[in-house]
Amino acid sequence: MTQKKDIIVKGSSILEEKSKSWLACAIDTEGGIYLYHRKKKNGAYDGWSNHIEITNTNIEFLEHAKILMGGQIGNQTHKKDTKRKPCFKLRLCAQEKIQNILEQIVPFLIIKKSKAEIMLNFLRSHHDVRRRNYE
């Protein structure tokens, strides 16, 4: 039986440690962890936004990542360069899900470990942040 500390729970799916390390590698190499001050059109600050993103030309790669972390897959367009392969982006915006995923994969991150820790500290300390209830 798998111990609770060794799994990520996403919906009814239970992921093991190898899935955590795979997802951490995907985010480290093909993704980003974003926390930024959101602005209105008039230039005034409107609060904070955050998301996790993975970009790749292989849709199957992103579909596997989506199974592990949730989120939405969309097209990433290259406006000026039509010779490039079509590119896709998986984005997770739901703060509770971001926090859950990062808490599980932070030990496996290398390149983006410090960004993940900053994001986790922010999410734990800012309860007044506008909550997004969608993926």
What predicted TM-score, i.e. pTM, was given to this entire model? 0.78
We report the CATH number of the domain holding residue 20 as 3.10.28.10
Count of domains observed in the chain? 1
SS3 label, residue 74 = strand
Residue 96 lies inside a defined structural domain of this protein: yes
Residue 28 lies inside a defined structural domain of this protein: yes
Residue 88 lies inside a defined structural domain of this protein: yes
Domain range holding 101?
Answer: 4-125
pLDDT reported for residue 24: 97
* 130 has a pLDDT exceeding 80: no
pLDDT reported for residue 5: 47
Residue 90 lies inside a defined structural domain of this protein: yes
C-alpha separations of 69 from 4, 63, 77, 102, 112 in Å: 17, 10, 23, 10, 17
pLDDT tens for 17-66 read 999 999 999 999 999 999 988 777 777 777 788 999 999 999 999 999 99
Residue 60 structure tokens: 């199957």
Q: Residues 92-97: what's their mean pLDDT?
A: 91
Residue 131 lies inside a defined structural domain of this protein: no
Residue 135 lies inside a defined structural domain of this protein: no
Residue 133 lies inside a defined structural domain of this protein: no
